[in-house]
């Protein structure tokens, strides 16, 4: 039995050494170490041995098994390492080649303008508020001093979903909702950016969907001079310290008195040119003192509280600041246009 076990050990080690693949090693393992292998057959004949010989043969059989298993593991490791090296050689990458450039995008011009305006007003202590784009008739009109049948509603013909639901025509409903939530007991200092909708014919200066930013400040002893100071700071920050502003009387149902704000033309410096149509001024936004009816409907006592409100279109701000001549450029996704303002 000793001779037979030594013979099997040598045969197995030779086959392991000559194995050219992991599969060959698996075959050797099954052939010599499996339940039906020759080593197992030898051990089955141990019953014919004396008590003294059995432990000796048993120990030898275990040593043979361990030697074969160890040889298989060692050879398998060598074969796997060789296969990995071959694969690395075949799939090697020339790291000296220049890499493929990755184009990095950036925010849309309107997004940049909105964020710039938000940062400006946050610096002045305003908070950012948002509201639903599908709005009720009450908050879109009635809470802003525009009751049903009011002729000023015709200026904001919108997309109605039902008789009481519509796509909001301005972001003013956010102001009404915010004041209502304070229930007349706390000051309000906010701006509300967002998309608005009006049934307009699209052309170079009009769009059925556009963005708007409105601001509101309600507190005790708020004056028109406070509004002018805020708007003057805004104009100089957005268009340059040399810009001048002027306020002209106007009409809005939710403010009284109401004003339009112009800035001095940056092209001619106020002398008059084709851009400002010879006036030296360019209209930029509207505003005024919050109408007492609006304050009262929101729960504020107009004898104790006052406030100002203003509204602007980021598209118009961007068109004036960067010389864009058609509002539709902002929405047609022409990469040639967008790339010009990638880092604006």
Supply the DSSP symbol for 329.
Answer: G
Pairing of strands 188-197, 127-128: parallel
Apex 8 CA angle, 6 and 9, nearest 5? 60
* CA dihedral sign, ordered 238, 244, 248, 254: positive
Q: For residues 121 and 191, is the Cβ–Cβ distance under 8 A?
A: yes
**Three-state SS at 251:** strand
Question: Any known ligand binding at 70?
Answer: no
Sign of CA dihedral 115, 117, 120, 122: negative
The stretches of 37-148 forming alpha helices (DSSP H) are: 38-44, 53-90, 109-123, 137-140
> Of the candidates 253, 175, 246, which has an alpha carbon nearest to the alpha carbon of residue 216?
175
Longest dimension (CA), the chain: 125
Measured over the CA atoms of residue 293, residue 298, residue 299 and residue 304, the dihedral's sign is: negative
Cis peptide upstream of residue 262 (ω within 30 degrees of 0): no
In the block, which residue shows the tokens 């001048």?
A: 244
Q: Is 245 helix (H, G, I), strand (E, B) or coil?
A: strand
Cβ atoms of 170 and 291 closer than 8 Å: no
Distance between CA atoms of residues 172 and 213, nearest Å: 9
Query: Residue positions in the annotated binding site for Mg(2+)?
Result: 256
List the binding residues.
256
């Amino acid at each position: 039995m000793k001779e037979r076990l030594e013979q099997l050990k040598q045969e197995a080690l030779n086959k392991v050494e000559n194995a050219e693949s992991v599969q060959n090693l698996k075959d050797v393992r099954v052939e010599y170490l499996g339940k039906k292998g020759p080593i197992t057959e030898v051990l089955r004949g141990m019953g014919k041995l004396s008590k003294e010989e059995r432990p000796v043969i048993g120990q030898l059989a275990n040593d043979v098994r361990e030697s074969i298993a160890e040889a298989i593991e060692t050879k398998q490791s060598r074969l796997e390492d060789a296969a990995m090296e071959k694969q690395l050689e075949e799939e090697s990458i020339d790291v000296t080649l220049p890499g493929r450039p990755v184009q990095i995008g950036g925010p849309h011009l309107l997004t940049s303008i909105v964020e710039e305006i938000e940062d400006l007003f946050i610096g002045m202590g305003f908070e950012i508020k948002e509201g639903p784009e599908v709005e009720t008739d009450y908050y879109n009109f009635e809470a802003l001093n525009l009751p049903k049948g009011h002729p000023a509603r015709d200026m904001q013909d919108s997309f109605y979903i039902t008789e009481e639901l519509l796509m909001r025509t301005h972001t003013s409903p956010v102001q009404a909702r915010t004041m209502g939530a304070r229930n007349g007991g706390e000051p309000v200092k906010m701006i509300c950016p967002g998309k608005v909708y009006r049934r307009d014919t699209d052309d170079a200066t009009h769009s059925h969907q556009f963005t708007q930013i409105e601001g509101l400040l309600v507190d005790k002893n708020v004056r028109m001079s406070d509004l002018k100071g805020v708007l003057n700071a805004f104009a100089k920050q957005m268009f340059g310290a040399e810009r001048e502003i002027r306020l002209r009387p106007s009409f809005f149902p939710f403010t009284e008195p109401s004003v339009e704000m112009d800035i001095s033309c940056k092209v001619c410096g106020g002398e008059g040119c084709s851009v400002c149509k010879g006036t030296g001024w360019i209209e930029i936004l509207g505003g005024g003192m919050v109408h007492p009816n609006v304050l009262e409907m929101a729960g504020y006592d107009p004898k104790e509280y006052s406030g100002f409100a203003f509204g602007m279109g980021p598209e118009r701000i961007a068109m004036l600041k960067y010389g864009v001549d058609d509002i539709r450029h902002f929405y047609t996704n022409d990469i040639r246009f967008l790339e010009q303002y990638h880092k604006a």
